[in-house]
């Protein structure tokens, strides 16, 4: 189980490093990475966030003992999936992204 969690973090880390090397600048947030990608590659952000979310779920929920905190762990994963589903944070219709980020932060 720890391996899936480690692989999930490694995927997001490598994804960020690749984008930073390509753009030669550090984004303000992980969500800003999607704007540095060309239209052809914007879908990769969603895929990476979904992979990371689903790789962390089993480890996160299994390692938490208290049922209340398991529920909050589930919300964290829902936040990751929501951020990945609605990656474009600039604009008027980004409520899903902002709410998902808040839920993930809890």
Q: Over its length of 106 residues, how does the chain's per-residue pLDDT go in tens digits?
A: 677 778 877 887 887 788 788 777 777 777 777 777 778 887 888 888 888 888 877 777 788 888 777 777 777 778 777 777 777 656 666 677 667 777 766 6
3-state secondary structure of 61: helix
Longest Cα–Cα distance in the chain: 44
Q: Closest Cα to residue 105, out of 75, 82, 85?
A: 75
User: How far apart are the C-alpha atoms of 46 and 42, rounded to whole Å?
Assistant: 8
User: How far apart are the C-alpha atoms of 23 and 36, rounded to whole Å?
Assistant: 7
Q: Which domain does 72 fall in, by range?
A: 2-105
Provide the domain count of the chain: 1
């Amino acid at each position: 189980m720890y391996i899936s969690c480690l692989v999930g973090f490694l995927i997001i880390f490598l994804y960020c490093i690749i984008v930073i090397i390509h753009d030669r600048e550090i984004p303000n947030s992980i969500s800003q990475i999607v704007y540095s990608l060309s239209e052809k590659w914007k879908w990769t952000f969603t895929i990476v966030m979904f992979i990371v979310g689903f790789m962390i779920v089993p480890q996160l929920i299994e390692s938490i003992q208290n049922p209340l905190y398991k529920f909050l762990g589930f919300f964290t994963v829902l936040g990751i999936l929501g951020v990945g589903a609605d990656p474009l944070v600039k604009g008027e219709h980004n409520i899903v992204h902002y709410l998902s980020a808040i839920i993930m932060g809890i």
